Amino acid sequence: MAELTLEEANQLDEDAFVDRFGSVYETSPWVAERSRSAQPFSSVSDLQETFEATVEEASEERTRELLKAHPDLGEQTEMTDASEQEQASAGLDQLTPEQYEAFQRLNDRYQEKFGFPFIMSVNDESPETIRSAMEERVEHTTDEEFRTALDEVHEIARLRLDDMVED
């Protein structure tokens, strides 16, 4: 069940809007700050599209910062509640020692190549599926993977917004 209706979201003042939606894009409240001026939103899809457009219009440096804000998958470290729940839904909080080591090696290789963590919308995916995607995507070009990672960030945000707001 969503936390609030679209009508309620449209009535939030700036501070409340940023407080409520500042974590939709992983620890990047600037997305909500910049998107709020488009209120009122006609639908949850309109809200999502506005957030996405805000990110797409940002500088490459700002967008890279957003990508870098995401935790490594399978990492046993402090992360946002949303990331913890998403990773748990994929079983990444219960990796065997061997799986954990494999994820760490892939995370390191990916981070070294692209300069940001591997990002994937992992809700209800299996560790094997995620690992396979990591192995495939680490072979991408930098431009190709930047786009893929950003698309995954938008999908994560869409799922988060769907959980937060209903039309």
140 is catalytic: no
Residues in contact with 22: Cβ distance below 8 Å, sequence separation at least 6, in sequence order = 28, 29, 31, 32, 33
3-state secondary structure of 154: helix
d(CA 25, CA 11): 21
Q: 70, 137, 154, 158: which one is catalytic? A: 70
Q: Which amino acid is at 15?
A: D
83 CA to centre of own chain: 8
Give CA separation, 18 vs 2, 33, 114, 132, 141, in Å.
17, 6, 30, 36, 35
Q: Is the preceding peptide bond at 40 cis, omega within 30 degrees of 0?
A: yes
Point out the residues that are catalytic: 70
